Amino acid sequence: MFKNFLKIGNKKLKSRLIVGTGKYKSLSETAKAVKISGADMVTVAVRRVNIIDRKKPMLTDYLNPKKIIYLPNTAGCFNSQEALRTLRLAREMGGWKLVKLEVLGDKKTLYPNMIETIKSTKTLVKEGFKVMVYCTDDPILAKKLEDLGAIAIMPLASPIGSGLGIQNKTNISLIIKQSKVPVIIDAGIGTASDATIAMELGCDGVLINSAIANAKKPLLMAKAFKDAVISGRNSFLAGRMKKKYLASPSSPTKGII
Amino acid sequence: MAKLQLNGKKISIKSNISIFDLLVKYKLTNKKIAVEHNGKIIPKTNYKKKKLKNNDKIEIVHFIGGG
């Protein structure tokens, strides 16, 4: 209905919903969920090819990288060295320069290690990567990443896969206000309304994986998220009414019989 | 014969084969993959040039589903 593109680097996305491709029952379910979600961009991981069973299907057989934007991610990396290695391999694989950096600090919380994240961002920017960065919801660190050249800031709503939704709306709002690059909520969204809330706060997009893949009916949840993100964005653009402490009747008081 | 470590598994190959030959053996020539040879990423243009030696460590990676 509205001109509503999400611009990340030189990519123009029609959908503000980015989806992960992990945790699904099968690659065919992954592909169906991605299609229903309407996402133009998907996150993918870099792993060893299975050399023993060469008949195992590959992700690229189900999701055509020419039709959908692959966003290589460093999920599972716990230091800068591992993350850089992963993304350099991703770049070699098909010229991917647009990447998502995620350096984890702790196995229990999968909370970002911001010291290693900052270090990696510096190196990647220097090497010509366009880096979208998973980070804590700390406005000072978010600003630091932007200053270093991150092309999108991706603060967590809550820990990866927790489904707890946005835990610190104030911090997310502060990050949105100060950022000149897109702010995309990454991690912790549990259900469609969480995504709407993120978009109403003014986020430029949301990245969802577990909330769709782990739903009882993933394909229906993919549709729910598609709608939730559109609704949240429209609601943000429309500008909500002011909150008041007392009631205000919806029908005219003049002419009451 | 040469013994290699490929994606963490020990394999034996004929001596003097290239990375390209190895990719042919595993039917990976037209797949979206990247190759690391002893910790160094090998550009696609060098697959035929790079010969494999005894005790080399090779990693072949691709994209899989992930968050």
Confidence band (pLDDT; 50, 70, 90) for B32?
confident
- For residue A30 the two structure tokens come to 């992954």
| 3-state DSSP assignment of residue B59 | strand
Distance CA B39, CA A85 (A): 9
DSSP B7-38: TTEEEEE-TT-BHHHHHHHTT-TTSSEEEEET
pLDDT (tens digit, 9 = 90+) per residue, A180-223? Answer: 999 999 999 999 999 999 999 999 999 999 999 999 999 999 99
Task: Please say if the pLDDT value at position A1 is more than 90.
Answer: no
Q: Do A51 and B7 touch (CB under 8 A)?
A: yes
A218 touches chain B (CB under 8 A): no
Predicted confidence at residue A3, as pLDDT, reads: 60
Average pLDDT, chain A: 93
Task: Please say if the pLDDT value at position A229 is more than 70.
Answer: yes
Sequence ranges of the domains in chain B:
2-62
A193/A58: higher pLDDT: A193
Predicted confidence at residue A130, as pLDDT, reads: 96
ipTM summary value = 0.90
Q: How far is A255 from chain B (nearest CA, A)?
A: 59
Distance CA A151, CA A99 (A): 10
In the predicted model, what is the mean pLDDT of residues A77-99? 91
Confidence band (pLDDT; 50, 70, 90) for A141?
very high
CA nearest A51 in B: which residue? B26
Predicted confidence at residue A199, as pLDDT, reads: 97
Predicted confidence at residue A117, as pLDDT, reads: 96
Q: Do B66 and A89 touch (CB under 8 A)?
A: no
Confidence band (pLDDT; 50, 70, 90) for B20?
very high
Task: Please say if the pLDDT value at position A123 is more than 60.
Answer: yes
DSSP A135-164: E-S-HHHHHHHHHHT-SEEEE-SSSTT---
Task: Please say if the pLDDT value at position A67 is more than 70.
Answer: yes
Number of H helices, E strands in chain A: 9, 10
Q: How wide is the angle at C-alpha A111 spanned by C-alphas A105 and A114, nearest 5°? A: 60
Most confident of A63-67, A179-183, B12-16, B62-66: A179-183
Distance CA A166, CA A173 (A): 11
Distance CA A253, CA A31 (A): 55
A158 touches chain B (CB under 8 A): no
Alpha carbon distances (Å) from A21 to A28, A166, A246, A250, B54: 11, 22, 46, 46, 37
pLDDT (tens digit, 9 = 90+) per residue, A108-121? Answer: 999 999 999 999 99
| 3-state DSSP assignment of residue B65 | strand
Predicted confidence at residue B16, as pLDDT, reads: 84
Residue owning tokens 């003014």: A202
A53/A171: higher pLDDT: A171
Task: Please say if the pLDDT value at position A83 is more than 60.
Answer: yes
What's B2-62's CATH class? alpha beta
DSSP A16-45: SEEEE--S-SSHHHHHHHHHHHT-SEEEEE
In the predicted model, what is the mean pLDDT of residues A23-32? 93
Number of H helices, E strands in chain B: 1, 5
A164/A52: higher pLDDT: A164
Task: Please say if the pLDDT value at position A21 is more than 70.
Answer: yes
* Length of chain B measured in residues: 67
Task: Please say if the pLDDT value at position B8 is more than 70.
Answer: yes
Predicted confidence at residue A129, as pLDDT, reads: 96
Q: Do B7 and A22 touch (CB under 8 A)?
A: no
In the predicted model, what is the mean pLDDT of residues B19-33? 88
Chain A residues 113-152 with a CB less than 8 Å from chain B: none
Annotated catalytic residues of A are 100
- For residue A144 the two structure tokens come to 């630091």
Distance CA A151, CA A179 (A): 10
Cβ distance A63 to A42 under 8 Å?
yes
Alpha carbon distances (Å) from A157 to A12, A44, A139, A167, A208: 24, 20, 13, 6, 11
Spell out which residues of chain B touch residue A207, defining contact as CB-CB under 8 Å: 67
Chain B residues 44-63 with a CB less than 8 Å from chain A: 44, 59-63
Q: How far is A249 from chain B (nearest CA, A)?
A: 47
Q: What are phi and psi of A225, to 5 degrees?
A: -70, -35
